[in-house]
Amino acid sequence: MSGGLSDDLTALLGLSPGQAGPSSAPTLPTGPVGREWQPGVAFDPSGAMTVVTAPTTASPQDPTAWKAAVEALGLAVPEGWDVQLTEAKYDPAAWTRSDEDAKAVTQAVWRLKFRVAPSSLAGYGAEDVAAMVRDAMRVKRTPRPRVAPSRGLVVAYADAQTGKVDRKGGTPELVARIAEKFDRVQDHVRDLKAVGRPVDSAVWMDAGDCIEGQQNVPSQIATNDLTMTEMVRLHRRITFDGLARLARQFDQVTAAVCASNHAQHRVNGKVIGPPSDDWGIETLQQVADAFGCNPDAFGHVKFILPERWQETVSVDIAGTVVGLAHGHQVRSPGKIVDWWRGQTFGEQPVAAARILLTGHFHHFHAQEVGAGKLWLQAPALDNGSTWYTNTTGEESRSGLMVFSVGADGWSDLAIL
């Protein structure tokens, strides 16, 4: 069939588009009979019709005669539709008259009922489920385009807290763990290419708490295995190595960072200076300075840091804006979405973000909010949090979160 159901029915009734149906029934006389045998047409939900023709003295015996009997009502059976005789009733003593003015007489007649339907009911109903399944399975898959749309790889580096000693060890264990995660990033990129979803750029997103610090809680003085300068130095070397790996593999690399509580410059546990007075922000600036000394090798690496009085940033990744915030702005993860909503209303740096990435809460969490926005809570890379485990009984595994982002959103999220 070339047209839709409405076009087919219009053609079947012998009407031009927009024309109303016949205003009166056919004039062939008939005597009083049950409603089900009154000449006319009834439509069922599948699009087929049941047609009762006027009484006739002879029963048509072949499909051509059946079609003629139906069309005698003024209907036009379109091409691709079948007429089937479904019931024939012989009445040997029917009460009939030749016309409205003639005298009624008793006469033997045949009463006929037909089904008029498309030869194939595909798209008109589910009467033949097996056939529908068969036809669906025959559909060939459309090949993927050879040139995939642009997609960027996000590496969510969160809460390494260099210098921290906890149940998973100290600095040697942390360095070994991060080195293994960096190797797995390379494997992940290779696997994406193998399955036909390659990435052509990379974004390093430092979600904060890069160092443990010494001024957040009193216990840090006794539990850290590095001094403040050593913590910063180790984080700088880790960041340099991670970005250098990405720079060798991708022609476009972006590195972004946000302010955080452990990396804040504090005195006697109190925050001093603007939000940008942060060791994580300073470390990324140092790496940017180093990369700037070799533009031939690192000129394709771009750095995004918060403005002096801001704690957050946003990055446009292949057409989708991803916001970055540490998460210490609220006391519990359940408050993040409300905070994000307020930032949007206040036109802050994450206002245009479709995806918000946070750290701070040391566990993986993903939640869709609003009209298709996504909040991603990154797991931590640190040596664990005995305080949190002793308080709640919960423990999250360390991990490096990665995911792909393009103009059509996100995909391929993994915890390495």
What tens digit of pLDDT does each residue of 56-66 get?
Answer: 877 777 888 88
Do 126 and 165 reside in the same domain of the chain?
A: no
Q: Is 147 a domain residue?
A: no
Work out the pLDDT band at 400, boundaries 50, 70, 90: very high
pLDDT digits 0-9 by tens, 215-257: 777 777 778 899 999 989 999 999 999 999 999 999 999 999 9
Work out the pLDDT band at 28, boundaries 50, 70, 90: very low
Do 126 and 157 reside in the same domain of the chain?
A: no
pLDDT digits 0-9 by tens, 369-381: 988 999 999 999 9
Do 124 and 254 reside in the same domain of the chain?
A: no
H, E, C per residue of the chain: CCCCHHHHHHHHCCCCCCCCCCCCCCCCCCCCCCHHHCCEEEECCCCCEEEECCCECCCCCCHHHHHHHHHCCCCCCCCCEEEEEEEEEEEEEEEECCCCCCCCEEEEEEEEEEEEEECCCCCCCCCCHHHHHHHHHHCCCCCCCCCCCCEEEEEEECCCCECCCECCECHHHHHHHHHHHHHHHHHHHHHHHHCCCCCCEEEEEECCCCECCCCCCCCHHHHCCCCHHHHHHHHHHHHHHHHHHHHHHCCCEEEEECCCCCCECEECCEECCCCCCEHHHHHHHHHHHHHHCCHHHHCCEEEECCCCCCCCEEEEECCEEEEEECCCCCCCHHHHHHHHHHHHHCCCCCCCCCEEEECCCCCCEEEEECCCEEEEECCCCCCCCHHHHHHHCCCCCCCCEEEEEECCEEEEEEEC
Query: Is the Cβ–Cβ distance between 153 and 159 less than 8 Å?
Result: no
Do 22 and 82 reside in the same domain of the chain?
A: yes
Q: Is 146 a domain residue?
A: no
Q: Is the pLDDT of residue 50 over 90?
A: no
Q: Is 162 a domain residue?
A: yes
Per-residue confidence (pLDDT) for residue 63, from 0 to 100 = 82
Do 402 and 316 reside in the same domain of the chain?
A: yes
pLDDT digits 0-9 by tens, 96-135: 766 666 677 788 888 888 888 876 544 444 455 666 666 6
Do 341 and 230 reside in the same domain of the chain?
A: yes
Do 82 and 192 reside in the same domain of the chain?
A: no
- What residue numbers bound the domain in which 224 lies? 152-415
Q: Is the pLDDT of residue 303 over 90?
A: yes
Q: Is 143 a domain residue?
A: no
Do 280 and 187 reside in the same domain of the chain?
A: yes
Higher pLDDT, 406 or 268: 406
- Which among 115, 138, 161 is the end of a domain? 138
Q: Is 404 a domain residue?
A: yes
Q: Is 132 a domain residue?
A: yes
Q: What mean pLDDT do residues 290-303 have?
A: 92
pLDDT digits 0-9 by tens, 158-212: 999 999 999 899 999 999 999 999 999 999 999 999 999 999 999 999 999 999 8
As given in the structure block, the two tokens for residue 37 are 């045998």
For the domain that residue 232 is a member of, what is the CATH number? 3.60.21
Do 387 and 257 reside in the same domain of the chain?
A: yes
Work out the pLDDT band at 1, boundaries 50, 70, 90: very low
Nearest one of 396, 384, 365, 370 to 156, comparing CA atoms: 365
**pTM here?**
0.67
Do 200 and 128 reside in the same domain of the chain?
A: no
- Which among 138, 164, 189 is the end of a domain? 138
Query: Which of 25-29, 85-89, 288-292 shows the lowest per-residue confidence on average (mean pLDDT)?
Result: 25-29
- Which among 112, 138, 164 is the end of a domain? 138
Do 368 and 233 reside in the same domain of the chain?
A: yes
Do 134 and 225 reside in the same domain of the chain?
A: no
Q: Is the pLDDT of residue 19 over 80?
A: no
Counted domains in the chain: 2
Q: Is 85 a domain residue?
A: yes
Distance CA 311, CA 305 (A): 9
φ and ψ at 260, to 5 degrees? -150, 170
Q: Is 145 a domain residue?
A: no
